[in-house]
Structure 1
């Protein structure tokens, strides 16, 4: 049975052009995984983590494989929601220039609508029924990211434990005030991200994988991946010390 699993791993990797070099004990080496935060349009107003800085960070991580928070259709067609400026300006061109393999971690339909539709409706209802609460959340969001921008002097700081705590608390409070559907669907969304990453990792033993997710998902995705046995999860905040 163990031999069959090893043979399946080899065949999967070879089918994607990445036949692994096996470790001394016969097991394929674990892929090295980096989960990188993106800011969408906030990249344009955050000098310490603007699009050239994001590009330089990804180049330093030198991925063989990308896992992206876009849908399969968006990845295939190279078109995304307009707010995701990093994909059109940085990520898709990098993938094409490198000839890298890429996977989408956002759900395809009908799951996309199943998760996003009720959450959007809950936000609309909050705006209509409790406009003062919705306004307070917008103010909180603006203040949170303005303060974080001061803290972020390096790309590593964008990924540090303090940032995770601040972003996580901000997101959790927003979801709590919007309602249970936002909390539940956000959790399911992040679980989908993590599952797609693990599926990609199984296909690419021994490879370097960069996963890009919005900053409000990263902290939970990292938590979900922390105990996964099939990957070597490297925190970007610790990368200079962990290199190469």
Structure 2
């Protein structure tokens, strides 16, 4: 588009100028007459200021409407109408929003995304093949580990005591705990008997025996508890 500087004289004799963007000088003169139709200005000169000016939105809208009418006259099933399907909406959006939408860009973007997707698919296929190999190796390793664990479990089971053995040990420990309880009580009674002789050997021996019996009682009571727990799980 061109930009023309139009200089004009008003009815009162004053001189003015205005710029008009148009494809030709003739169109610029027509646009001037439309804008100044009530002022009766007389054009005195027209100067080409620029030859690369962008069209105004009003001009874009007018051009779009002309193109739309031409395409409409050809009918909705014409080759051109088919090619222009969706383009008019993009053109309207571009004019109103200063956008740069186009069907070509959409196609190029879709084609690029499709190529990227195909590349991703191939990459995923390669990864899947590697994963399958890793799975097979992991499966073989897991099978080997399972066999080793089964052997370990069988070995451990062979070392476990039978239920009858656990019952016999529980009875033996119960008797031991009962005997130790009696020893603790006997030692405590001896301490009481010689409590008025804390420096005597009898007192010291009684205290020593009481402590030893009490420690043994605690230890074997815990062992008995563990044996009974094991017997309950068997």
Identify whether the pair has TM-score above 0.5, normalized to the shorter chain.
no
Range class of TM-score, shorter chain = under 0.3
Q: Kindly name which structure, 1 or 2, has the bigger radius of gyration based on alpha carbons.
A: 2
TM-score (norm 2): 0.17
TM-score (norm 1): 0.17
Which protein has greater RCO, CA pairs closer than 8 Å, 6+ apart? 1
Choose between structure 1 and 2: higher helix proportion.
2
